[in-house]
């Protein structure tokens, strides 16, 4: 029984192995979430190995389990095939240029860490605000009330760092001095916090958002918030 089932599906297995998947997106809409086909492929292969082992070890109760596994694999395989047909070429992410950077405005809301990872996966980083001009550009583009900034004080409370490792204060002081004090005042050195922020409310606020009102707040990093990725337009 086992051998029959396995040989019936051997064709499916070899077909699967031959399929030359390229990473594609889960859906055709531009999305930053990459579907890791290689990972799926190795999961498939691992599952098949397990099935082969059931036979080798002559598990008596494995027949039904195996049929179930095989039909699940069949379903997953046809879902993958359908997706290939429906989405032959994933649309590239839409980047918008402003100044010396490109920006990607997310279609989804994520926890801060996840947003950070997604930007990194797209060769970019969660936005770092270097000037009021940049902030104004971002703000006028967002449809949401807020987006994540690449700014957090998770490691050391009240020590705000951008995702490139620079300290908020040092980073902005350098800018302030470099740009001939184009952006005046201590407020520019310490950022554009909303009045009374950052307040670490409830002791659980370590990630910063930029509001449509052009100011910042610290909120819990596990909130789902839209985000903006940035990458250099130079080079």
Q: How far is the CB of 116 from ligand MAN (least distance, A)?
A: 19
**Whose Cβ is closer to Ca ion: residue 70's or residue 221's?**
221
Q: Which two tokens stand for residue 136?
A: 């104004």
**Whose Cβ is closer to ligand MAN: residue 13's or residue 192's?**
192
Q: Does 197 bind ligand MAN (CB under 6 A)?
A: yes
Selected from 205, 208, 216, 226, the binder of ligand MAN by CB under 6 A is 205
How many whole angstroms separate alpha carbon 47 and alpha carbon 55? 13
Which residues of this protein are in contact with Ca ion, per CB under 5 A? Answer: 197, 199, 201, 205, 217-218
Q: Does 153 bind ligand MAN (CB under 6 A)?
A: no
**Whose Cβ is closer to Ca ion: residue 40's or residue 201's?**
201
Q: Does 78 bind ligand MAN (CB under 6 A)?
A: no
Q: Pick from Ca ion, ligand MAN, none: which does 36 bind, CB < 5 to 8 A by kind? A: none
Q: Does 199 bind ligand MAN (CB under 6 A)?
A: yes
**Whose Cβ is closer to ligand MAN: residue 180's or residue 196's?**
196
Q: How far is the CB of 208 from ligand MAN (least distance, A)?
A: 10
Q: Does 159 bind ligand MAN (CB under 6 A)?
A: no
The answer to whether the beta carbons of residues 135 and 210 sit under 8 Å apart is yes
**Nearest residue relative to ligand MAN (C-beta):** 201
Selected from 35, 168, 217, 228, the binder of ligand MAN by CB under 6 A is 217
Q: Which residues bind ligand MAN (CB under 6 A)?
A: 197, 199, 201, 205, 217-219
């Amino acid at each position: 029984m086992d051998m029959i089932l396995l040989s019936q599906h051997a064709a499916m297995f070899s077909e699967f192995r031959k399929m030359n998947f390229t990473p594609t997106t889960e859906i055709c809409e531009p999305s930053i979430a990459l579907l890791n086909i290689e990972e799926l492929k190795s999961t498939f292969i691992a599952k098949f190995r397990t099935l082969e082992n059931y036979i080798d070890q002559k598990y008596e109760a494995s027949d039904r389990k195996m049929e179930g596994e095989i039909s699940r694999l069949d379903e997953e395989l046809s879902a993958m095939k359908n997706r290939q047909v429906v989405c032959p070429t994933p649309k590239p992410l839409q980047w918008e240029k402003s100044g010396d950077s490109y920006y990607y405005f997310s279609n989804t809301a994520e926890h801060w860490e996840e947003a950070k990872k997604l930007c990194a996966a797209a060769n970019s980083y969660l936005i770092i605000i270097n000037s009021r001009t940049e902030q104004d550009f971002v703000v006028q583009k967002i449809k949401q009330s807020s987006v994540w900034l690449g700014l957090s004080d998770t490691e050391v409370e009240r020590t705000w760092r951008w995702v490139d490792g620079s300290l908020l204060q040092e980073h902005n002081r350098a800018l302030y001095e470099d740009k001939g004090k184009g952006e005046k005042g201590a407020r520019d050195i310490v950022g554009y916090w909303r009045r009374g922020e950052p307040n670490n409310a409830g002791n659980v606020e370590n990630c910063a958002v930029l509001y449509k009102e052009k100011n910042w707040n610290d909120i819990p990093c596990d909130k789902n918030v839209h985000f903006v990725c940035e990458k250099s337009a130079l080079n």
